[in-house]
Amino acid sequence: MNYFNINNKFKFQKFFRTEFWVLFFYRFIGLFFIFAAISKSRGFYHIERVLLFAHFPPSSVEPIAWMLIFSELLLGVLMTFLLANRVTGIISFIILLLFSFFLTYLLFLPNAPSCGCTGNFSFFQSAFFENLFGVLRNLFFISIIFFRWRIMQRKVVQASR
């Protein structure tokens, strides 16, 4: 066997392709959604506090909080196991856009609380930096979901030829 033959394919060539990394991060987003949902369900007072700060009616805060937790858990499972790819991608893209707009809104308000994006777990002491990190993380997640959609679209076009 000649290892120096240029015509031989590199065994791990697929590992270095963009498609692999986009799929890897897509599943990572799913795992992050599952982590965030579990963390929020253990004590969702962060979500309640943010929703009350944003002037949601107090009677609707708890149902909205549980709806967010359930939707994150469901999307996380669907994204991790690559189920209903097209619908899951579109819904998660829209939800992440809405979360990003809401976090951007919180960035410009004085004395805004931390977003509670990961429940009881926080990365920073400052609520401003926590919200800023949430916006940047969501933009990264949105870009991965967009690239995943483009790869799926390219595969459909190639299969139809």
The pLDDT confidence band at residue 142, using thresholds 50, 70 and 90, is very high
Structural domains in the chain (count)? 1
Is the residue at 5 inside a domain? Answer: no
Separation of alpha carbons 12 and 130, rounded Å = 38
Task: Note whether residue 2 is domain-resident.
Answer: no
The model's pTM is 0.82
Q: Residue length, the chain? A: 161
Tokens of 41: 């369900």
pLDDT at 19 over 60: yes
Q: Tokens standing for 114?
A: 């931390």
Q: Please check the confidence at residue 14 and state whether its pLDDT lies above 70.
A: no
In a domain, 1, yes or no: no
Domain residues for 75?
A: 20-160
Identity at 55, one-letter amino acid code: H
How confident is the model at residue 10, as a pLDDT?
A: 53
As given in the structure block, the two tokens for residue 11 are: 């065994």
Does residue 15 lie in a domain region?
A: no
Q: Kindly state the tokens that stand for 44.
A: 């969702």
Look at residue 8 and tell me if it is in a domain. Answer: no
CA atoms within 13 A on the CB side of 72: 23
Look at residue 10 and tell me if it is in a domain.
Answer: no
What digits encode the pLDDT tens for the residues 86-135? 899 999 999 999 999 999 998 998 888 888 777 667 778 888 898 999 99
